[in-house]
Amino acid sequence: MVFFKHTLSAICVFLLALVVADPQSITHNETFVPDAVLRVSTSNISQSCYPSKSTVLVNGTSPGPELRIKEGITYWIRVYNDMTHQNLTMHWHGLTQAMAPFADGTPQASQWPIPPLHFFDYEMLVPIGMAGTYFYHSHVGFQAVSATGPLIVEEDQVPCAYQYDEDKTVFLQDVFTKDDSTIEAGLVASPLSWSGETDMILVNGKGGGSANGTVCNASLSSINVQPGKTYRLRFIGATTLTFASLAFEGHDLEIIEADGHYTQPHNTSFLQLGTGQRFSALLHTKLNPEKSTYYLQLESRERPTLTRGFAVLNYGPKPSTPFTPPSQPPLTLPNTTLGFLDYELHPFSAPTDGAFPTAQEVTRRVTLTVHQRVSGQTVWIQNQYDWTDAFPAEPYLVSLYKNDSIEFPSMQRALSNNGIDPISRAFPAQIGEVLEIVIQNTGADSGGLDVHPYHAHGAHYWDLGSGNGSYDAAANEARIAASGPPVQRDTTMLYRYAMKTTNGTVMGWRAWRLRVSQPGVWMVHCHILQHMLMGMQTLWVMGNKTEVLGKVGYPDVAGYLQYGGSVYGNASRWPSVVHFTDSWVDEQ
Ligand SMILES: *[C@@H]1O[C@H](CO)[C@@H](O)[C@H](O)[C@H]1NC(C)=O
Ligand SMILES: *[C@@H]1O[C@H](CO)[C@@H](O)[C@H](O)[C@H]1NC(C)=O
Ligand SMILES: *[C@@H]1O[C@H](CO)[C@@H](O)[C@H](O)[C@H]1NC(C)=O
Ligand SMILES: *[C@@H]1O[C@H](CO)[C@@H](O)[C@H](O)[C@H]1NC(C)=O
Ligand SMILES: *[C@@H]1O[C@H](CO)[C@@H](O)[C@H](O)[C@H]1NC(C)=O
Ligand SMILES: *[C@@H]1O[C@H](CO)[C@@H](O)[C@H](O)[C@H]1NC(C)=O
Ligand SMILES: *[C@@H]1O[C@H](CO)[C@@H](O)[C@H](O)[C@H]1NC(C)=O
Ligand SMILES: *[C@@H]1O[C@H](CO)[C@@H](O)[C@H](O)[C@H]1NC(C)=O
Ligand SMILES: *[C@@H]1O[C@H](CO)[C@@H](O)[C@H](O)[C@H]1NC(C)=O
Ligand SMILES: *[C@@H]1O[C@H](CO)[C@@H](O)[C@H](O)[C@H]1NC(C)=O
Ligand SMILES: *[C@@H]1O[C@H](CO)[C@@H](O)[C@H](O)[C@H]1NC(C)=O
Ligand SMILES: *[C@@H]1O[C@H](CO)[C@@H](O)[C@H](O)[C@H]1NC(C)=O
Ligand SMILES: [Cu+2]
């Protein structure tokens, strides 16, 4: 669904802000009209070649409807949990959400989940300059495998950096034969019972091809184009596991955006898209196509079996019968994955002075040493700690407000423990610090290595690149100086540089740099859902107690502090919520 508000609303927000200095709870009764509504339910459906099973859907489909919003304007999106036996949240993947602390959709960090048969009004305001390609997904259990959909942020006043005739979304998802509850139970079982490999890669909800050599002859999505035009294709990596390599027959791509930031144009014959990543690329269609259909071929990388899917770039009329996969794959996609686009993508506009912090400005480096531990239950740990759905007992931000089960993270304790406070299990950071976060791959207990798309909530990071071994700050700075400024991202890959090494051997890093400016409680985690459920998540508390909790006084947030509290509406009660962006706009 597309919905637009007039620029006037932005002005209204500003005027209102002058009046409402101290936001109070506002009841969203029948006079309140949300900007969009999403209804989440379960249904037995069949995807691709696979038998029907219980699946979490948004507005009855997977992916759910596309949302289009504009930067610089406050939106309220009402999310109904129509399920009778499952909790729900909605996360707005890539949006920073710094101005609406309870609206990030993380059940372990920012909010209690929406109870069955309740709804929650999510507030969002995308800062000017962050128009781009995003998506939404549940952050509960394995629901995001299907409970997800595109979220496109458009420019309000400034023109788009690039010109094109039309934009189209290419939304990638995985299908598994097992249902969500079986997968979840298996991942926390001792010993581990794996989810199985991806049975098919879907494009816009459809897909066929082959999985581990078994043919799946299901109908394909069609991307309909006309000759001699320029299309902006918005690729969204909403897979749960698949690190996809993909290319079109006979057409190159010109990358123009990565994770919500315009880049200088970069031509490529193929793309790699990890879980959680997004790219926009211009596709220039042929003036005189030799045939009416060309395949888009997608393959999983860095997994023990190969899953191959297809979609169709269609110049012709809408076919009378659906397109099906080719009998032979038309393309040979590159097998290597290492360092894709690192040091090659640059911001569309050179960063303004001071925006990209220099190496000299870095005040602290935190290394996240990731490791797979097998001792009964198989878990992924970072600096010796895992973070599974079983921890913490209540959302972290709620605990900080209530000052009950979790102590505010201590910087002093963290500084002597590799950046993590062992008591509160958080990574604290101070406003004004310039952090380097280095994610360091190591051999598992078994010696195995894996690939991880690391995703950050709360802010986008300057992506400093990746390499084998361990991070060498001076060498990397020289490389950046020679190649030009990096882009800001919210999800980038930690690679593996061998299939196997020995237990604990340090092999492969990724580095980010950030000037800490927005107080809040933010997750940083691997975006592979299986790995998340196996503990591969961290929590960061940016800012001190006053900065994190002081924005709104305690009485106003009381409704957020209990499961099913007054901020959650249901059939007999309207929700009472704080309008956070009013005070946020006021402060700017
Ligand atoms: C989702 O469905 C509801 C009704 O069930 C509808 O009101 C709403 O507009 C739909 N949302 C979108 C984004 O299309
Ligand atoms: C509905 O909410 C508005 C705004 O909070 C308020 O002004 C109005 O009185 C409420 N209406 C009812 C019927 O409660
Ligand atoms: C969905 O399928 C399960 C078995 O897989 C079955 O128990 C259940 O009744 C089905 N639900 C509906 C609404 O058909
Ligand atoms: C929903 O969340 C609440 C609060 O965390 C928890 O007590 C409850 O067990 C959850 N329900 C389900 C079905 O997971
Ligand atoms: C893939 O296929 C091979 C050969 O048929 C089989 O041995 C293997 O178990 C399959 N792997 C998976 C994960 O299904
Ligand atoms: C990318 O390819 C297009 C043709 O498809 C060409 O016009 C353009 O100049 C190329 N851009 C760069 C940066 O090489
Ligand atoms: C591609 O790389 C994988 C390791 O990630 C390896 O197992 C496989 O044999 C390679 N395939 C080819 C065709 O080189
Ligand atoms: C897939 O099925 C269609 C009919 O639905 C058939 O025409 C086509 O030959 C099949 N393709 C393969 C690779 O089996
Ligand atoms: C929070 O709790 C600790 C002890 O658990 C207490 O020392 C401290 O004063 C409390 N802070 C506030 C603001 O209530
Ligand atoms: C791997 O190394 C860690 C740290 O030295 C050690 O605690 C663990 O027992 C080792 N695992 C195995 C399987 O040897
Ligand atoms: C990474 O470094 C290790 C140790 O030096 C080496 O064994 C491995 O081959 C390297 N991998 C790549 C892809 O260069
Ligand atoms: C938090 O930092 C601000 C500004 O840096 C300072 O004014 C305030 O006293 C600090 N609060 C606490 C609890 O340390
Ligand atoms: Cu991972």
- Beta-sheet strands, E only, within 9-62: 25-27, 36-45, 53-58
Pocket lining for ligand 12, CB < 6 angstroms = 544-547
Q: Where are the domains of the chain?
A: 2-157+552-587, 160-314, 359-549
The candidate with the shortest Cα–Cα distance to 123, out of 158, 150, 95, is 95
Q: To 10 degrees, the CA torsion angle through 312, 316, 317, 318? A: 0
Q: HSE (CB half, 13 Å, CA atoms) of 533?
A: 25
**Cα distance between residue 211 and residue 260, in whole Å:** 32
Q: How far apart are CA 104 and CA 198, in angstroms?
A: 28
Q: Say how many Å lie between the CA of residue 370 and the centre of ligand 13.
A: 9
- At residue 317, the pLDDT reads 94
Instruction: Say what the pLDDT of residue 24 is.
Output: 74
User: What six digits make up the tokens of 102?
Assistant: 């309870």
Nearest ligand to the CA atom of 509: 11
* Amino acid (one-letter) located at 528: I
Task: Tell me the CA distances in angstroms from 309 to 215, 273, 316, 377, 469, one per residue in order.
Answer: 10, 14, 21, 33, 33
Structure tokens at 418: 């590799």
In this structure, are residues 325 and 219 in contact, taking their beta carbons and an 8 Å threshold?
no
Quote the pLDDT of residue 554: 61
Q: Tokens 């959400």 — which residue?
A: 97
SS3 of 90, please? coil
CATH number, domain 2-157+552-587, options 3.40.50.2000, 3.90.79.10, 2.30.30.230, 2.60.40.420: 2.60.40.420
Q: How far is the CA of 31 from the centre of ligand 2 (A)?
A: 7
The CATH homologous superfamily for domain 359-549 is Cupredoxins -  blue copper proteins (2.60.40.420)
Range 107-135 average pLDDT: 96
Question: Is the CB of residue 166 below 6 angstroms from any atom belonging to ligand 10?
Answer: no
User: pLDDT: is 98 or 42 the higher one?
Assistant: 42
Q: 160-314, what's its fold?
A: Immunoglobulin-like (2.60.40)
43 CA: nearest ligand 3 atom: 13
Kindly state the tokens that stand for 392.
């913490």
Going from the Cα of 390 to the center of ligand 11, the distance in angstroms, rounded, reads: 36
Q: Output b/e per residue, 86-121; b: 16+ Cβ within 10 A.
A: bbbbbbbbbbbbbbbbbbbbbbbbbbbbbbeebbbb
Whole-prediction pTM? 0.95
pLDDT in tens, 170-220: 999 999 999 999 999 999 999 999 999 999 999 999 999 999 999 999 999
Question: What letter represents residue 405's amino acid?
Answer: S
Is there an atom of ligand 3 within 6 Å of 44 CB? Answer: yes
| Nearest atom within ligand 6 for CA of residue 266 | 13
Residue 548, H or E segment: helix 545-549
Give the type of residue at 38.
L
Which tokens go with 13? 């927000």
Are the beta carbons of 363 and 278 closer than 8 angstroms?
no
**H/E element, 253:** strand 253-258
pLDDT at 526: 98
Q: What counts of helices (H) and strands (E) characterise the chain? A: 9, 34
Q: 198 φ, ψ to 5°?
A: -55, 125
Contacts (Cβ under 8 Å, ≥6 apart) of 286: 227, 228, 250, 251, 315
Evaluate whether 430 touches 364 at the Cβ level (below 8 Å).
no
The confidence score (pLDDT) of residue 550 equals 80
β 427-429/307-314 pair status: unpaired
Interval 321-329 mean pLDDT: 97
pLDDT at 20: 35
Q: How many angstroms separate the CA atoms of 515 and 395, rounded?
A: 26
Report the relative pairing of strands 91-93 and 200-203 from DSSP bridges.
unpaired
pLDDT at 389 over 50: yes
* Whether the domain at 2-157+552-587 and the domain at 160-314 fall into the same CATH topology: yes
Burial (0-12, 13-18, 19+ Cβ within 10 Å), 84: exposed
Atom of ligand 10 nearest to the CA of 503: 1
**pLDDT higher than threshold 70 for residue 149:** yes
